[in-house]
Amino acid sequence: MKAPFTLNRSRRFVSVKNKMLFFFLLAILIPVVILFINSYISSQQMLERKYTDLLADVTRQSNIRIEEFLEDMKQISLIASYGINSYISAVSQENYPVQNYLHDSSVTNELQATQLLMNYITMKDRAISIYVYNLVNGSDLYVAPNKPVDYTYNPRKEDWFSDFLRSDDITRDLPTMLDRQTKADNNWAIYNLRKIFDMENGKLLGVMAVSVDIDFINRLNKRMEAGNRSAFTVTDDSGMIIFNNNYELIGKPFNTTLFPVREGELASGSDRQIVRVSGKDYILIQSPFEVHSWKTYMYMPVEELAVEGDILKRNLWTIAVVLILFALASSVYMSNLITRPIKQLIRNMTLVEQGKFDNLPAVRSNDEIGVMAGRFEQMSAELKQLVERIYVEQEQKVEAEIRALQAQISPHFLYNTLNSVKWIATMQQSEKIVEMTGALISMLRYTAKTDNRLVPIREELEHIGHYIVIQKVRYFNRIEFHSEVEEGLAEQEIPKLSIQPLVENAIFHGIADQEDGLLSIEVRHAGSAELTITIRDNGAGMSAEAAAKLRSRLDGAEDNGGIGIINVHQRVRRLYGDPYGVSFVSSPGQGAVFVITIPIQNKKGA
C-alpha cells in the first residue's frame, strides 16, 4: 500500500477558505478604497469649484452694486447742481436752490438748498454727506445728518482740491480718505467731486463734494457672511487698500500687509486661483471694476471647506464600513458554501489512502466539485480493481522470474557445448573451426546481454568484427571489410544491434555472390550535434521498384517484425525522434549506401 500523502512543510499551509476570504475581501476593498479616495478628491474639488464660483459671483455682484451706488452719487450731484432738466436753457428753469445759494448765501436760499440736499441724503439712507464749497466769496454749505461738522476745516488747502480745480474734469471720484469735514474718528469716505457752473454764463461757482461713508460697502454686502466681509477688500490701481472691514488697513498695500503673498505667486491674469500664504492655502478671487480702475479681492482658507468635507467624509466612511461588513459576511458564506464539499472530499481521500475504497460518504454539491467527487468515487472503485490486479500480476511476475531463471540453463549449456567444440577443434588443429566457434561464442554472449539497450560504437563494431569472421569463413575470404571511426566518437552510445542488421543485409543481398566483395563502415560527425554511421557495399544494388518499396516502408509503413532495416529505423525513431533514422541510396550494379543518423549525446544528456 502506498504511504499516505504528506504536505510539503517547506511552504506554509493556507486553507482554501482563508484564501477565498482574503481574495473576496481584497476584490471588494480595493474598489471601495479607490471609490472612497476618488469620491473624496472629486468632492473636494467640486467644493472648491463651488465656493470659488460663489465667491467670484459675490465679488462681481458687490462691484456692480458699489459702482451703481457711486453712479447714483454722480447723478445726485448733477441733479442737485443743475436741476432735473439740466439740459434745458437757464431761462426755462424756475428754481435752482444750489445755484441760488452760490449766488446769494441768504438764509432763505440756504434753507431751500439744505432741504433739497437732505431729500437726496434721506433717499440714500443717510449714508452720505454733501458739502458745497462756494468759490464766489459766498458761504459754504454743509449737510451732514449723522456727524457733527468741523467748520474750521477748509479743503481748499488740500492737494486733491487744488488738483481738481486745475483739471478739466467736471466730476471726479477720489479713493478712500478721511472725511475731515466732520469731527468723528475714523470717518473714512469716498468722495465724488463735481464742479458747479453758472447756468447763465458758465462761470465756475463752486464745488460739490459728496462724501460717501465707506461703511456703505458693508451695507450693500449685508447678506455676506461675517468671514467673507472681513476678507472682502477693494484696492486701487496701485494695489493700495481703499476698503476693508479693518479701517486701520486702509491706505496700506494689499500684498504686503493684509495678504502677504510671495512675489510671483499672485497671477494677475487669473481671476481665481489657490495660493499659499503663511503656510495655509487660500482660494483667492480677483474681480476688477468695470468703470473704476479698482479691483476687489476675496480670499478664503481652503481648510474652511472641511466642514462640508467632514460631512462627506463621514458619509463615505459609513458607506465603506457597510460595504466591508457586507463583503465579510458574503465572503464567509461563499467560502463555507464552496469549501464544505471540498473538506468532505478530502476526508474521502484520506479514507482511500487508508485502503477503504468502499462506502465513501456522499459529497453533496451540484457544481464542479460534485462532478469531481463523482469522478473520485469512480476512480477509487477503479483503484480498488487496479490494486487487486497488481497483486495478481505480482504473483505472475514472481512465477515468470522463476521460469526465466530456469531458461538461463539453456544458454549456459550452449556456451559449455560450444567451448567443448572449440576445445576439440583446437586438439585437432582445425583453425577455422576454432576461429568460427570463438566468434560465435562472443556474438552469443553480446546478444544475450540484457543490462542495457544502448552500447558504445566501439562494442557494436567489435560485435560486427565477430560476425565478419564467421562470414569470411563461410564465403572463403571473398569479403573484404574496413571500418573507420572519427576521433571522439568511439564511446558514443547507439542502440544495440543497430549496425549488424544492415551489414547482414549488405552481405546476403549485395556481395554474397561476388568474388571481390567490399564492405566498409564509417562513423563521422554530421555537424556539431549529430553523427552518421555509413554502411557501404559494392554489391548488385537494388532495382528502382525495390528501392521505392523500401523507402515507403521507412516513411511509415508498418513492418511485420524481425531485426532488419525497418526494425533498426523504428528503434532509432522511437529513441531520438522523427528527424533521425535510416536512409539509403542504391541503384542496380552500383551497390548500396545505408546511413544511420543519430544525435550526439554527452553522458549527462544520455
What is the helix, strand, coil percentage profile of the chain, to 5? 50, 20, 30
Q: Three-class SS of residue 522? A: strand
DSSP string covering 390-428? HHHHHHHHHHHHHHHHHHTHHHHHHHHHHHHHHHHHHHT
Q: How far apart are CA 599 and CA 579, in angstroms?
A: 10
The edge-to-edge listing of strands for the beta sheet with 141-143 is 141-143, 128-134, 204-213, 188-197, 171-178
Q: By C-alpha distance, which of 26, 45, 33, 42 is closest to 319?
A: 33
Q: How far apart are CA 157 and CA 155, in angstroms?
A: 5
DSSP string covering 86-151? TTS-GGG----HHHHHHH---HHHHHHHHHHHHHHHHHTTT-EEEEEEESSS---EEE-SSS-B-T
Helix (H) or strand (E) run with residue 340 in it: helix 306-353
Q: By C-alpha distance, which of 285, 71, 271, 82 is closest to 173?
A: 71
pLDDT in tens, 282-302: 888 888 888 888 888 888 777
Q: By C-alpha distance, which of 149, 163, 147 is closest to 207?
A: 163
Measured CA distances, 39 to 122, 310, 316, 498 (Å): 54, 13, 8, 78
Per-residue pLDDT for 599 more than 90? Answer: yes
Q: Interhelix angle for 368-407 vs 306-353, to 10°?
A: 30
pLDDT computed for residue 233 by the predictor: 87
Measured CA distances, 521 to 385, 435, 461, 534, 535 (Å): 53, 22, 9, 6, 5
Q: Which residues contact 602 (CB under 8 A, 6 or more apart)?
A: none
Range of lowest pLDDT (336-345, 542-551, 553-562): 553-562
Most confident of 163-177, 333-347, 399-413: 163-177
Which whole number is the average pLDDT over 568-591? Answer: 88
**CA angle, residues 148, 154, 156, in degrees to nearest 5:** 145
Per-residue pLDDT for 524 more than 90? Answer: yes
Q: By C-alpha distance, which of 84, 194, 176 is closest to 133?
A: 194
pLDDT computed for residue 166 by the predictor: 92
Measured CA distances, 27 to 32, 33, 330 (Å): 9, 11, 12
Q: Which residues contact 164 (CB under 8 A, 6 or more apart)?
A: 172, 193, 195, 207
pLDDT in tens, 170-229: 999 888 888 888 887 778 888 999 999 988 888 999 999 999 988 888 777 776 665 565
Instruction: Pull the grid cell for residue 122.
Output: 434721506
Range of lowest pLDDT (86-100, 135-149, 344-358): 86-100
Range of lowest pLDDT (104-113, 478-487, 556-565): 556-565
Q: How far apart are CA 536 and CA 231, in angstroms?
A: 110
What is the dihedral angle through the alpha carbons of 450, 452, 453, 454, rounded to the nearest 10 degrees?
Answer: -150
Most confident of 38-42, 283-287, 337-341: 283-287
Which whole number is the average pLDDT over 17-26? Answer: 72
pLDDT in tens, 129-158: 999 999 988 899 999 888 889 889 999 989
